[in-house]
Structures are given as C-alpha cells and as structure tokens.
Amino acid sequence: MDCISDKDMDMLRDICSGEVLQGVDLSLISHWRIGGRAELVLRPSSTAEVAALRRWFYQRGMAHLVIGKTTNVLFADEGLHVPCIQIGAVMSRFSIEHGEVYADAGVWVPGMSRTLMLNGLTGGEHLCGIPGTLGGLICMNGGSNSRSIGGNVISVESVDSRGSVVDRDAEECGFGYRSSIYQTNDEIVTSVRMRFLPGVCSAIRVEMLKDLANRRRKFPLKEPSCGSVFKSSPGIYADFGPPGAVIEKLGFKGMRVGGAMVSPKHANFIVNTGRAKAADVLEIMKSIRDAVYAQTGYLLEAEARYVTPGGKVLPASSVL
C-alpha cells in the first residue's frame, strides 16, 4: 500500500465517522471466509463520507477498493494492499412513503424484503433469501426466480472515482441479466429509490416462506460460500439447463481441492470446508468451466468476483 502517514490516518478518521481499521483479516469479513490481510478498512456512514474518501484518494493518486457484504467476492490469498471502503450497517438508512422506498446501499437485503412485506408492499419477495447489501444487489442487478431488482428501481445515487455524486434514473443504469453499468464504470452505489406495489401482507409472507424453505432444501446455507458461482445465462439454460444441473451431470459434486469443495447439495456452490484458499476455489472453477465447455460449447461466466491484491475487481472466470 502507498505509504499512509499518521497524519493521513488522522485525516481519514476525521472524514470517516464509522470504523477505521488496520490489519484486518479478510477471512473474518468474507462471506467465503477466504482471504489474506487488508491493510486498511474504512466504514463510512453517508454518501458525503464516501464522496470525501474517494476524493481524498483521487487527489493523492491512490488506488482503493469499495466492497459491501462480500457475498459474491473472492479475496486473493495475498490479501489487499490498497485501502478498502466497506459499505455496511453504519450506512443503512431506510424509509417508505406512498410505495416509494429510499434506501442506503448498506441496507441488508433480506431485512429490506421483510420490511416491505410488513408494509404490505409486493415485488421484493424474491429478495428474501439473498444474503447481501443493497449496493451489491444493484450492481449485479440481483434477484431470484427469474426476477431482478432493476425492475423496481426509480433512480440510483453513486459516487465516481473523483468523489463526485452522480444521480441516474433506471434507464441510465443499463440493467441487464445480472449486470449494470456499475460493474464497469468505477462508480459506487450509495443509495437507491425504488417503487413497490401494494399487496396483501399474508400472501406475500406465504410466498417468502416458500422461497426460504426452497432455499434451505436446495442450497448449502450452513457452509461458507458465495452462493451461485456461475451465471445461469439464457443460452446454456435453454439448451442444457441451469449450470448446477450441468455441473452435476459431469460428476463434480463433492470434488475437493484443499479446503474447497463442490457442494454435494448443489453443484453450482463451492463451499469452504475449513481453511480453503482462493487458489483452491479457482482451481475447482477452472476444472468445471473447462469440462462444461468441452461438453456443451458454452463458456460459463462467473457470478463470483475476484479481488486482486491491488484492489482490481474482476469476474473470477477471467483469472482462471
């Protein structure tokens, strides 16, 4: 990491009202429980603080990384050698007015889904089992059951690499299948305005309970993972079925490399059985991707994102 002096640290603490942590073990904050040591982690509480931090780093020519709950992130075994801004619980304001929702990027998605249900709003049921923050959900245009959050978005507020605040309406966000412009434009989602329709609370609750029961039945929720490793692209789904089924047919369930294993419960999950390394996960992913390509002619694209020691965030499939 570029040298940060004691004076610099004092300045960063003045900017960031949340935690400012040094020497953080990434395996303790990673959803996969994998990663080396982060030299500096900052947890801001507002868009203004995110903007001030990014501006501070830009003015000094310092690379940095911004993360959320890390539910689709694989950190390098070598750790993280650039400052890291983590958007989380201290940045989670949430309000509802006439079916319109305002939410900070650090809002916990399952909690948001439940709050929508309790307020008689429908459209967020499919989010109830997605373990992540809203910022990451927007970035990935996440969802389940063939639905995506982008359909509910009115506008998104973000902060660019120079620390300027940017507002975009939904059309400008470039939402596509598990994608948005925020995956490539180096802007950090800080808050979202969304619209949900009135519904019947009891009916919404029943649908959510069914979804959660289905997830418990299908997915290895008790072991550290990043959820689905590979995207279920429309092409391979139409020709061969979902990635999990294709991977299972090729015999990968239960495959182990080091502490990483293809889940015996769902073949599109790679779980950490204890002390797994990023290298273990990447080796399994490469074996699966090569085998699926040989069998189907489709190159699976990773949902999981790989974070290099220098803070670059890449599709994990690009480093196999």
Q: Which residues have a Cβ under 8 Å from the Cβ of 220 and sit 6 or more positions away?
A: 263, 264, 265, 266, 269, 271
Tell me which of 113, 232, 303, 305 is the catalytic residue: 303
Residue 67 pairs in a beta bridge with: 86
Q: What is the CA radius of gyration of the chain?
A: 20
Residue 179 pairs in a beta bridge with: 176
Q: What is the largest CA-CA distance in the chain?
A: 59
C-beta atoms surrounding 219 within 10 Å = 19
Tell me which of 43, 54, 168, 178 is the catalytic residue: 178
Tell me which of 113, 191, 225, 228 is the catalytic residue: 228
Of 284, 285, 219, 226, the C-alpha closest to 256 is 284
Residue 162 appears among annotated catalytic residues:
no
Q: For residues 268 and 247, what is the distance between their CA atoms, to the nearest angstrom?
A: 7
Residue 13 appears among annotated catalytic residues:
no
Residue 178 appears among annotated catalytic residues:
yes
Backbone angles phi, psi at 168, to 5 degrees: -135, 145
Cβ atoms 189, 139 nearer than 8 A: yes
What positions carry a catalytic annotation?
178, 228, 303
